[in-house]
């Protein structure tokens, strides 16, 4: 056995300590240089999202595919509802971090799922999109949601009963209702891509020969556009003054002028994201109080001015599907992202649905 002098041990310990300090300094430097949660393309974005804004995980790697968040105002703040399109459930998240089941069998009420729901990957597993998707609240405080598997728009009554508002157009079943937004007069706008059908457009169960944007008002359903910009419609939102309706699909957003009777006219291209080759496409969409439009897109969540200028992009750890403004001040952006739920605080308050009962 070789003997080691105490002086040699001291030298080695000193060298090891120096190495650890160097490594620690490198780690601290890397942490200090961690990329921001926001890609800034225009200086006006600084008034919308602070340079110090950071992404906060609320519940990770837990769900099938999260979607359709809605902030519900209650008491001093409120709570978040959101869908799991793979788990066929609407969940409730409260400010203490608790997640509970709000409504089961919310997207598909049948028993045979062999032909229900298109197949989507959540980053780990293939999931049938048969559950609920977009959630909104009407002027009377009743929740209205897209039931993709049932291919319907459903209203949840105050006593818990479910009322089907729309599931057929001219006698033919809808494709698989996706997202929706409700105007202050109670008009419901929604998109109807083939997300409720196994095989999508190629499903033998598909009855409509188009992918529509619909308006439901006073019990009447009408088509306001078909295959907008040649794509399958997905996310949908209203401007703060309700003068414009935005619908996305593929890599484009279309803007319509809302008429006094809630129909729309004069569609025009708002933005084309296809030049950006980063992963991601259009899906959820919202607006803030200044009319800036937020939409999932290549690289994360795009923020655009009311004129359609891309101001910057919020990076999200998982591919975002949708988001909603929440918290007491409307500055919490709650993001559904495949298997997880995140939040980032912003400076510009967003539009939060308001009802007469809230």
Query: Residue 78: phi, psi to the nearest 5?
Result: 145, -160
* 3-class SS of residue 276: coil
Under DSSP, is residue 335 helix (H, G, I), strand (E, B) or coil? Answer: strand
The gap from C-alpha 163 to its chain's centroid, in whole angstroms, comes to 24
Go through the chain and tell me how many residues it has.
Answer: 358
- Max CA separation in the chain (angstroms): 95
Tell me whether strands 212-217 and 38-40 are parallel, antiparallel or unpaired: unpaired
| Residue 67 maps to a domain | yes
Residues 80-91: tens digit of each pLDDT: 999 999 999 999
Nearest to 221 by CA among 151, 165, 155, 172: 165
Which pLDDT band holds residue 36 (cuts at 50, 70, 90)?
Answer: low
Tally of domains in the chain: 1
H-helix segments, the chain: 6-32
State residue 353's pLDDT score: 82
Q: Which residues contact 79 (CB under 8 A, 6 or more apart)?
A: 71, 72, 92, 93, 94, 95
In a domain, 352, yes or no: no
Q: What local confidence, expressed as pLDDT, does residue 77 receive?
A: 86
- Residues 55-94: b if buried by 16+ CB within 10 A, e if exposed: beeebeeebbbbbbbbbbbeeeebbbbbbbbbbbbbbebe
Contact of 290 with 267, CB cutoff 8 Å = no
Residue 119 has pLDDT above 90, yes or no: yes
Q: How confident is the model at residue 3 (pLDDT cuts 50, 70, 90)?
A: very low
Averaged pLDDT, 57-71 = 97
Q: How far apart are CA 61 and CA 65, in angstroms?
A: 10
289-313 residues labelled b (16+ CB within 10 A) or e (exposed): eebbbbbbbbbbbbbbbbeeebbbb
| Token pair belonging to 335 | 């993001």
- Give the mean pLDDT of 206-210: 97
Model confidence over 214-239: pLDDT tens digits? Answer: 999 999 999 999 999 999 999 999 99
Is the confidence at residue 300, as pLDDT, over 70? yes
Domain assignment of residue 3, yes or no: no
Q: Write down the pLDDT at residue 358.
A: 52
Residue 31 counted as domain residue: no
Q: Residue range 166-183: average pLDDT? A: 98
SS3 43: helix
pLDDT at 29 over 50: no
Query: Which residues span the domain enclosing 269?
Result: 36-345
Rounded to 5 degrees, what angle do the CA atoms 167, 190, 183 make? 120
pLDDT digits (tens, 9 = 90+) for 146-162: 999 999 999 999 999 99
Our CA dihedral for 338, 350, 98, 102, rounded to 10 degrees, sits at -80
* Average pLDDT rounded to a whole number, residues 255-271: 98
**Distance between CA atoms of 248 and 296, rounded to whole angstroms?**
10
CA distance 153 to 192: 10
CA 38 to chain centre: 17
Kindly state whether residue 6 falls inside one of the protein's structural domains: no
Residue 76's pLDDT band (cuts 50, 70, 90): confident
pLDDT at residue 7 greater than cutoff 70: no
Residue 89 covered by a domain: yes
Q: Which of 169, 184, 241, 176 is nearest to 206 (CA)?
A: 176
How confident is the model at residue 35, as a pLDDT? Answer: 53
Give me the percent of the chain exceeding a pLDDT of 70. 89
Q: What CATH number should be reported for the domain holding residue 76? A: 2.120.10.30
pLDDT at 32 over 50: no
pLDDT averaged over the chain? Answer: 90
Q: Residue 131 and residue 162: Cα distance in Å, rounded?
A: 15
Give the lowest-confidence range in 2-6, 291-295, 331-335: 2-6
- 304-348 residue pLDDT tens: 999 999 999 999 999 999 999 999 999 999 999 999 999 999 999
- Whether 260 maps to a domain, the answer reads yes
The whole-number pLDDT of residue 189 equals: 98
Please indicate, yes or no, if residue 183 is contained in any of the structural domains: yes
Residue 2 has pLDDT above 80, yes or no: no
Q: What integer is the mean pLDDT of 18-43?
A: 54
Nearest Cα residue to 264 out of 282, 250, 243, 283: 243
Asked if the model's pLDDT at residue 34 lies above 80, the reply is: no
């Amino acid at each position: 056995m070789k003997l080691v002098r105490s002086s040699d041990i001291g030298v080695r310990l000193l060298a090891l300590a120096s190495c650890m300090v160097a490594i620690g300094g490198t780690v601290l430097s890397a942490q200090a240089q961690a990329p921001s949660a926001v890609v800034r393309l225009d200086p006006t974005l600084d008034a919308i999202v602070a340079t110090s804004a950071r992404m906060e995980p609320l519940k990770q790697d837990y769900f099938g595919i999260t979607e359709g968040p809605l902030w519900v105002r209650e008491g001093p703040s409120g709570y978040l509802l959101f869908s799991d399109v793979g788990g066929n459930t609407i969940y409730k998240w409260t400010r203490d971090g608790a997640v509970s089941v709000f409504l089961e069998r919310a997207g598909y009420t049948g028993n045979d799922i062999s032909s229900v729901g298109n197949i989507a990957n959540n980053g780990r597993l293939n999931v049938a999109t048969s559950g609920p998707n977009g959630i909104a609240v009407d002027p009377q405080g009743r929740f209205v949601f897209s039931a993709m598997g049932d291919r319907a728009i459903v209203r949840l009554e105050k006593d818990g009963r479910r009322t089907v508002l729309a599931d057929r157009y001219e006698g033919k079943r809808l494709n698989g209702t996706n997202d929706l937004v409700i105007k202050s007069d109670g008009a419901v706008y929604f998109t109807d891509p083939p997300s409720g059908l196994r095989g999508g457009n190629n499903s033998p169960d598909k009855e409509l020969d188009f992918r529509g944007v619909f308006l439901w008002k006073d019990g009447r359903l009408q088509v306001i556009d078909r295959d907008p910009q040649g794509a399958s419609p997905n996310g949908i939102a209203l401007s703060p003054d309700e003068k414009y309706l935005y619908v996305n699909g593929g890599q484009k957003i279309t803007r319509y002028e809302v008429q006094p009777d809630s129909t729309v006219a004069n569609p025009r291209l708002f933005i084309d994201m296809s030049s950006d080759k980063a992963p991601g496409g259009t899906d959820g969409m919202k607006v803030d109080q200044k009319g800036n439009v937020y939409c999932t897109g290549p690289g994360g969540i795009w923020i655009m001015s009311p004129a359609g200028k891309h101001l910057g992009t919020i990076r999200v750890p998982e591919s975002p599907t949708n988001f909603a403004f929440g918290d007491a001040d409307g500055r919490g952006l709650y993001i559904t992202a495949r298997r997880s739920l995140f939040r980032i605080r912003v400076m510009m308050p967003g539009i939060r649905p308001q009802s007469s009962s809230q």
